[in-house]
Amino acid sequence: PEVVRLTEGLRLAPPLLLLLAAAPAAARCPMLCTCYPAPPTVSCQANNFSAVPRALPPGTQRLFLQNNLISALRPGSFGPSLLTLWLFSNNLSAIYPGTFRHLQALEELDLGDNRHLRSLEPDTFQGLERLQSLHLYRCQLSSRTLHGGLTRCGGVALTILITFQHSLAHLSDDLFADLANLSHLFLHGNRLRLLTEHVFRGLGSLDRLLLHGDPPQGGHRAAVPG
């Protein structure tokens, strides 16, 4: 009888071992990254990654990928639980359509200091319904590109937009018209020479506007909210 029980135990062991092995594998931290449980965080900064690591732990809420060599972002790279995504100081030159579409919980997105980033598709930020803070500083985006990228931005919750130290020489009319809840807008360090009357139209919630280092000339006084 003892032998029979031992044999039965051995028969049950492999499935049990597989189950135990699968559980940690699903939440395994990517190589060269550091993971923290509360809040679920994956930190992969400054490791010369040329692409977003695959198989990120499900349920990740904060993902830090700054100071790497990532050149492109593609759909499927990020999980829907993300709240914070830092991608500043990479080599981004392309953000493919749909990359952020399913990140409906995302609150903070930092794409700053990507000096090869020159264009944004019109739907780049579409679907980011809870986005509160968007950082686009020290990129090479034109006013026209910004206008296209922000037109379909989730926008409903966005309160902070940081887009300083570009080479912007002008701002398109109604550039921020879809961002009715925007309270902080940082545009300093550009090359602005003209502000037309309708640049800031629609920004009824704007509380702080930084334009220092930008001495607009010939602009319309009504352009600046206040």
Q: Is residue 7 over pLDDT 70?
A: no
Q: Provide the mean pLDDT of the chain.
A: 81
For residue 156, the model assigns a pLDDT of 62
Nearest to 171 by CA among 111, 120, 220: 220
For residue 8, the model assigns a pLDDT of 44
Angle at 130 between CA 100 and CA 210, to 5 degrees: 95
Does this model's pTM top 0.85?
A: no
For residue 149, the model assigns a pLDDT of 79
For residue 25, the model assigns a pLDDT of 40
Report d(CA 116, CA 125) in Å as an integer.
18
Of the pLDDT bands very low, low, confident and very high (cuts 50, 70, 90), residue 216 is low
Q: What is the pLDDT of residues 20-31, one digit of tens each?
A: 343 444 468 999
Q: Is residue 51 over pLDDT 80?
A: yes
Average confidence (pLDDT) over 151-175: 76
Domain 33-226 classification at class level: alpha beta
Average confidence (pLDDT) over 104-127: 92
Q: Which two tokens stand for residue 66?
A: 């700054």
Tell me which amino acid residue 73 is.
L
In angstroms, the Cα distances linking 69 to 38, 48, 66, 211 are 27, 5, 9, 31
Torsion of CA 188, 109, 141, 50, to 10 degrees: 130
Q: Which two tokens stand for residue 129?
A: 């319904």
